Amino acid sequence: MTVTNLKLISEREDRFVEGHRLCAGCAEPIIARQVLMATEKPIVVSNATGCFEVSTSNYPFTSWNVPWIHSAFENAAATISGVEAAYNALKRKGKIKEDIRFVTFGGDGATYDIGFQAISGAIERGHHFLYICLNNEAYMNTGIQRSGATSMGASTTTCPAGTCVPGKREFPKDLTKIIIAHDLPYAAQASPHNFKDLIEKAGKGFEANGPAFINVIAPCPRGWRFDSAKTIEISKLAVETCLWPLYEFENGKWQLTGDSRRIAEGGKKQLPITDWLKSQGRFSHLTKEKWAGVVVEIQKNVDKKWGELLKLCKQ
Amino acid sequence: MAIIAMNGDQAIALSWRQIDPDVVAAYPITPQTIIVEQFSEFVADGLVNTEFVCAESEHSALSICIGSAASGARTATATASAGLAFMWEVLYVASAMRLPIVMAVANRALSGPINIHCDHSDSMGARDSGWIQLYGENVQEAYDNSLMAFRIAEHPEVRLPIMTCLDGFIVTHSLERFEPLPDDVVKQFVGEFKYRRSLLDVSKPVSMGPFDGTDYYYEHKYAQVEAMRRTIPVINSVAKDFAKLTGREYQLIEPYKLEDADYAVMAMGSTAGTLKETVDELRAEGKKVGSIKLRLFRPFPSAELMKMLEGLKGVAVMDRAISIGASGPLFPEVRSALYEAKHRPKLSNYIYGLGGRDVRPEELRSVYNDLMSGSGETVNYLGVRA
């Protein structure tokens, strides 16, 4: 079992340190630190191109206290496959003694879109690694362009809300379920507001004895247009509206966790999606009468997906 | 060791079995497939201790090699044509990270139109990627280049990735007699892989592939330039060691009957063999002709080439690739290398053999005839139907 005793965790050496250039209020370093705290084993990190990579590795500086590699945008999963293959070969030959864990960080663009094939291939091949998707629902590093993870109704720079178009017209693909369809040992959705849940999931991912995947909602103050002090509040709201349910798929078994479990068991009330939409500037146009139908559609989809998930989790 | 018969792909696979790399990651593409198939059999039968990764694409295959080589593992791959084109982005990453990956390239035309046969468009397209490029004429050379490639790429003065190119089908699929080295001799020649930094050295964490701004990018590119410059003496010294072991001597550029020649034709890959045959025929007729085989395209051996070509009356450069709107890619490099020469030969360019079109001895003879009669354009298209 993973130790989620805060006192113990806080005493561990920081693997990701200050000095990076990510925006104030960015969820990514919060998530990364939680993930890196989830194991005491030595770690090697691969990182896809994106905000997280450019802001933490500006040569000659680095925020990484663990071995870290960046190669390109779409190949972080392939890169870690190669690291893990080398590890297996060198361990077999007695050239490496340590018991090392491997983790990949990629944004939603790198994960849902351009790097999807590499992730699928790496999971199919069964490499032992944990993939963390830092899902801020758009290409933030290039200036807030839509991705396959962008929510319906969100205004981005390539699906701007206009007089004729209400922002993005499509729902995001359900990547976590697509990954689960690979029948891998471990997959989950998580949120940085519930650090205990996220750290436990990352711990399970590290010890999955095969490929593991965690999709983490990563609110972006710049792209989502909210006060940078509210990152954790917003990530909590994503879960409370059931837009971003917390759950895990462990050795074939689906299970809700955290607030999502409490909502399913009636211990907590599901909040309306309007609370979510009102909290961020990217949805501000949806308050117009004209787009009332879009809001209804979004709520309907949230309820439909939540209902499906309840069945899968036998709740 | 005894002379045996194998095709070029099998010979590459054999060299890898003898070297037993830590990691091989590849994706199948004609005419490279026999390499990975054969190597898979070695893995299946426990003849190698290699971690063999069947990637889901060439882009991932090379990305896996990057992760592997960055982790201090001796790493090899193979591809061709569209596969090499698909790797294009990460070719530059591999060389910039100074990773000594060895890649066999079974030269094949690029789409479109789609075509599976030999030309050099694939590796010529990768000429600016910072990889060393060696070209082999036949199965023996494909094998020998493969052995020498590991020594060259991994040399501490170099630490650059290398392509060993062999003509698709013509070399990859043709059975030829050749003489491999005994396993233990290969192991001794290639030696242990000594990496500089490894991601797996968790006690000394390193950040590889960081974001490089306007203040350092240029210097890092220049470091690659300097490493490439140091490569030529290393290639020569490795070839010297190899010659001591085998008696087979390899130069960067190989002249054939050039001593008293007035005219010469120059090519890379298997056509260099056909050229020798043509030279023999013309010599029998009393013509003072020779031929030149270029084994090393990157780094481009300009100084050596100038020395060899200076004083000839005419030289035709054969290009099995084309830069549409200009000429063949080899031609301008040869012409540029000769600019400082005191006695420059007349130079012409022959585009030939695109998409695997056979080049027959009588066609090569016509090139010599053009040279000797002073006819022909600066850029010519050999054997094309107008």
Residue A1's pLDDT band (cuts 50, 70, 90): very low
8 Å CB contact of B51 and A71: no
Check pLDDT > 80 for residue B173: yes
Alpha-carbon distance of B14 to A41, in angstroms, equals: 39
Check pLDDT > 70 for residue A84: yes
Name the CATH code of domain A6-312 (choices 3.40.50.150, 3.40.50.720, 3.40.50.970, 3.40.80.10): 3.40.50.970
How large is the average pLDDT for residues A251-280? 98
The domain of B295 spans 253-381
Cα–chain-centroid distance for residue A177? 13
Chain A interface includes B88 (CB < 8 A): no
Is the domain of B88 the same as that of B210? yes
Alpha-carbon distance of B368 to B278, in angstroms, equals: 9
State the complex-level ipTM: 0.97
8 Å CB contact of B23 and A85: yes
Domain endpoint, select from B244, B274, B304: B244
Is the domain of B201 the same as that of B285? no
Q: How far is A255 from chain B (nearest CA, A)?
A: 31
Cβ neighbours of A131 in B, within 8 Å:
none
Is the domain of B152 the same as that of B40? yes
Out of A68, A89, A100, closest to residue B23 by CB: A89
Mean pLDDT, chain A, whole residue set: 96
Chain A interface includes B207 (CB < 8 A): yes
pLDDT digits (tens, 9 = 90+) for B120-150: 999 999 999 999 999 999 999 999 999 999 9
The residue assigned the tokens 């609370």 is: A275
8 Å CB contact of B66 and A90: no
Chain B interface includes A141 (CB < 8 A): no
Inter-residue long-range contacts of B335-342, CB under 8 Å, 24+ positions, other chains counted: B336/B302, B337/B300, B337/B302, B337/B303, B337/B305, B337/B306, B337/B309, B338/B305, B338/B306, B338/B309, B338/B310, B340/B306, B341/B306, B341/B309, B341/B310, B342/B310
Check pLDDT > 90 for residue A5: no
How large is the average pLDDT for residues A153-169? 97
pLDDT digits (tens, 9 = 90+) for B8-66: 999 999 999 999 999 999 999 999 999 999 999 999 999 999 999 999 999 999 999 99
8 Å CB contact of A72 and B57: no
Is the domain of B70 the same as that of B156? yes
pLDDT in the model for residue B189: 98
How large is the average pLDDT for residues A7-13? 83
How large is the average pLDDT for residues A146-154? 98
8 Å CB contact of A118 and B56: yes
Contact assessment for residue A220 and residue A136, using Cβ atoms and an 8 Å cutoff: yes
pLDDT in the model for residue A11: 84
Quick check: is B386 in a domain? no
Q: How far is A245 from chain B (nearest CA, A)?
A: 31
Is the domain of B10 the same as that of B155? yes
Check pLDDT > 70 for residue B369: yes
Chain A interface includes B129 (CB < 8 A): no
Is the domain of B145 the same as that of B213? yes
Check pLDDT > 80 for residue A3: no
Q: How far is A157 from chain B (nearest CA, A)?
A: 25
Residue B161 belongs to a domain with what CATH number?
3.40.50.970
| H helix runs in chain A, sequence order | 6-10, 28-36, 51-56, 76-92, 108, 116-125, 175-180, 195-206, 221-224, 231-240, 258-264, 273-278, 292-312
Is the domain of B15 the same as that of B144? yes
Is the domain of B237 the same as that of B273? no
Contact assessment for residue B102 and residue B150, using Cβ atoms and an 8 Å cutoff: yes
Is the domain of B198 the same as that of B321? no
Contact assessment for residue B319 and residue B351, using Cβ atoms and an 8 Å cutoff: yes
pLDDT in the model for residue A4: 66
Alpha-carbon distance of B199 to A69, in angstroms, equals: 8
Alpha-carbon distance of B12 to B104, in angstroms, equals: 8
Quick check: is B25 in a domain? yes
Domain endpoint, select from B214, B244, B274: B244
pTM: predicted TM-score of the whole model, two decimal places: 0.97
Cβ neighbours of B206 in A, within 8 Å:
67-68
Q: What is the CA radius of gyration of chain B?
A: 21
Alpha-carbon distance of B81 to B107, in angstroms, equals: 6
Q: Which amino acid is at A77?
A: A
DSSP-based three-state secondary structure for A230: helix
8 Å CB contact of A118 and B51: no
Chain B interface includes A96 (CB < 8 A): yes
DSSP letter at A195 equals: H
Helix (H) or strand (E) holding B86: helix B81-96
Contact assessment for residue A118 and residue A133, using Cβ atoms and an 8 Å cutoff: no
Quick check: is B364 in a domain? yes
The residue among A96, A116, A120 whose CA lies nearest residue A211 is A120
Q: What are phi and psi of B276, to 5 degrees?
A: -60, -40
Is the domain of B275 the same as that of B365? yes
Number of domains in chain B: 2
Residue B291 belongs to a domain with what CATH number?
3.40.50.920
| Residues 211 through 230 of chain B touching chain A, CB cutoff 8 Å | 211-213, 216
8 Å CB contact of B59 and A74: yes
Candidates A55, A56, A84: best to mutate against B (most CBs of B within 10 A) is: A84
Chain B interface includes A7 (CB < 8 A): no
Q: How far is A121 from chain B (nearest CA, A)?
A: 5
Check pLDDT > 60 for residue B93: yes
Chain B interface includes A48 (CB < 8 A): no
Quick check: is B72 in a domain? yes
Residue A12's pLDDT band (cuts 50, 70, 90): confident
8 Å CB contact of B50 and A89: yes
Alpha-carbon distance of B265 to B350, in angstroms, equals: 10
Percent of chain B with pLDDT over 90: 98
Chain A interface includes B43 (CB < 8 A): no
Is the domain of B122 the same as that of B262? no
How large is the average pLDDT for residues A149-169? 98
Q: How far is B197 from chain A (nearest CA, A)?
A: 11
Contact assessment for residue B130 and residue B87, using Cβ atoms and an 8 Å cutoff: no
Chain B interface includes A42 (CB < 8 A): yes
Beta strand segments in chain B, E:
4-6, 23-26, 51-54, 75-79, 102-107, 132-136, 162-167, 176-178, 207-208, 253-256, 263-267, 289-294, 296-298, 314-319, 346-351, 379-381
How large is the average pLDDT for residues A217-222? 98
**B113, burial (CB in 10 Å: exposed 0-12, middle 13-18, buried 19+):** exposed
Output the DSSP codes for A111-160: IIITTHHHHHHHHHHT---EEEEEE-SSBTTTTSB--TTPPTT---SSS-
Contact assessment for residue A215 and residue A133, using Cβ atoms and an 8 Å cutoff: yes
Is the domain of B39 the same as that of B88? yes
| Sequence ranges of the domains in chain A | 6-312
The residue among A198, A219, A140 whose CA lies nearest residue A9 is A198
Sign for the CA dihedral angle at A78, A82, A84, A89 comes to positive
How large is the average pLDDT for residues B160-183? 98
pLDDT digits (tens, 9 = 90+) for A48-72: 999 999 999 999 999 999 999 999 9
